Amino acid sequence: MATSNQNLSDYDLSPVEGAERMRVGIAVSEWNSEITNNLLQGAREALLKMGVLEENIVVRHAPGSFELPLVAEWLIEGAGSDGVVALGSVIQGETRHFEFVCNATAQGIMQVGIKHSAPVIFGVLTDDNIEQARARSGGKHGNKGVECAVAAVKMIALKWE
């Protein structure tokens, strides 16, 4: 495995110029909350380290990952977010449900970003088992929430250039 024993969340969390003016939404799934709460914590901490003000971080919970695109839409339209981090966890089961949820969620998140010309970052873990999800939500492979927060701040800054 290419990620074996590697922290994938080793990013520069130095403050970013203008981050204090950014309003960042976080759409987070309640499903697999052990995993998504860790992703949320990582994303929030990374945003703060990069200079986003606590009062400019807007968190909204969705029942599951499938609902994340609509929550992202609301965060941009209703909450005035400059960008959104969409966090979820879908773990492979015995049926094709996994494929449908993952594909629809990814497509929906992409469509919201394009529609609003705003970064909507895909932070949905799509793992084969709970151990892989734990490893990517604060475990030995880091925290995907951190990676997504960094991407959101960098994309907002890029748009503002």
Q: Give catalytic residues, as residue numbers.
A: 97
Q: Please provide residue 152's backbone torsions phi and psi, each rounded to the nearest 5 degrees.
A: -60, -50
CB 120 within 8 A of CB 109: yes
Phi-psi group of 90: left, alpha or beta (phi > 0 → left; psi -120 to 50 → alpha; rest → beta) = beta
- Which is it for strands 142-143 and 137-139: parallel, antiparallel or unpaired? antiparallel
Measure the CA–CA gap between 151 and 49, rounded to whole angstroms.
14
